[in-house]
């Protein structure tokens, strides 16, 4: 029997912070996360192909998208875009797609980057730091049986 709030052992997760310009990525396994280099997402087809490569290369089982819901937990124009992009990815790769509320994750990621002493240039990784936060939230909220 698995404990509550424990990610499935040996399952590889990909956290995704989708954006119109850049998409942050983080890998997770056994509750631990590691940020990856963000990908350019100005061209949707390019972004979908890059994600498919990363998913195959890292043998990802579950993709977790951050949903930018409003303060009341309701969909926004951007969360609808995220769902559309995620559905396109699902049709391409046939993997399990999950969502987690990413409310304030970018603010938290920026604060993390500043407090860890990242230069302004290094703060470009904020999208991927945010993807790591999305994965951590998913792991924290995971309700396994």
CATH for 12-141 is 3.30.420.140
Note the pLDDT tens digit of each residue in 86-139: 999 999 999 999 999 886 555 554 555 556 555 555 545 667 888 988 998 899
CA atoms within 13 A on the CB side of 73: 2
Task: Enter the tokens of residue 129.
Answer: 């730091």
Cβ burial, residue 68 (10 Å; 0-12/13-18/19+): buried
- Give me the residue spans of the domains in the chain: 12-141
Note the pLDDT tens digit of each residue in 33-58: 898 989 999 999 999 999 999 999 99
């Amino acid at each position: 029997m698995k404990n509550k709030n424990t990610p499935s052992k040996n399952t590889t997760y990909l956290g995704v912070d989708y954006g119109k310009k850049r998409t942050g990525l983080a890998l997770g396994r056994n509750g631990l996360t590691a940020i990856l280099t963000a990908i350019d997402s100005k061209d949707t087809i390019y972004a979908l192909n890059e994600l498919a490569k990363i998913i195959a290369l890292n043998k990802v089982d579950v993709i977790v998208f951050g949903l930018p819901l409003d303060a009341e937990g309701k969909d926004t124009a951007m969360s609808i875009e995220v769902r559309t992009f995620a559905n396109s990815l699902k049709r391409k790769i046939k993997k399990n797609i999950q969502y987690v509320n990413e409310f304030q994750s970018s603010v938290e990621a920026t604060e993390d980057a500043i407090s860890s002493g990242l230069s302004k240039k290094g703060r470009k990784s904020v999208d991927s730091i945010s993807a790591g936060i999305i994965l951590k939230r998913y792991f924290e909220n995971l309700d396994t049986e």
